[in-house]
Amino acid sequence: MNRIVREHYPAANLPDDLRNEIGAEKRVTITIEVESVGSSSEATGSADDWFSKYEHIRRATFHSLEEVNDHVRSLRDEWDHRER
């Protein structure tokens, strides 16, 4: 499988759908992997299909340090309750 990785890539150069979700002013790391012929049908679905299927693992967007701290606290609380 071929792979291309670009670090510190300007988000402004991404396609509209990705740029709108991330914000044009940011820099990102992108990884592109070329799939081999005969890969599974699940791997050949569109990005929209994949993201809708696995939406629950999508990283949350935070607008402030307070939101980040609140999220981390909620995760700690969740794990504290599971360990009991």
Residue 20 has pLDDT above 60, yes or no: yes
- Rounded to the nearest 10 degrees, how much is the dihedral formed by the CA atoms of 21, 4, 26, 10? -110
Q: At 10, is the pLDDT very low, low, confident or very high (cuts 50, 70, 90)?
A: very high
Q: What is the pTM of this model?
A: 0.40
pLDDT of residue 39: 54
What tens digit of pLDDT does each residue of 25-63 get? 999 999 988 887 665 555 566 777 776 776 666 666 778
Nearest residue to 15 via CA among 24, 5, 2: 24
What is the spatial distance between Cα 48 and Cα 43, in angstroms, rounded to a whole number? 12
Residue 2: the pLDDT is 81
What token pair was written down for 56? 């629950």
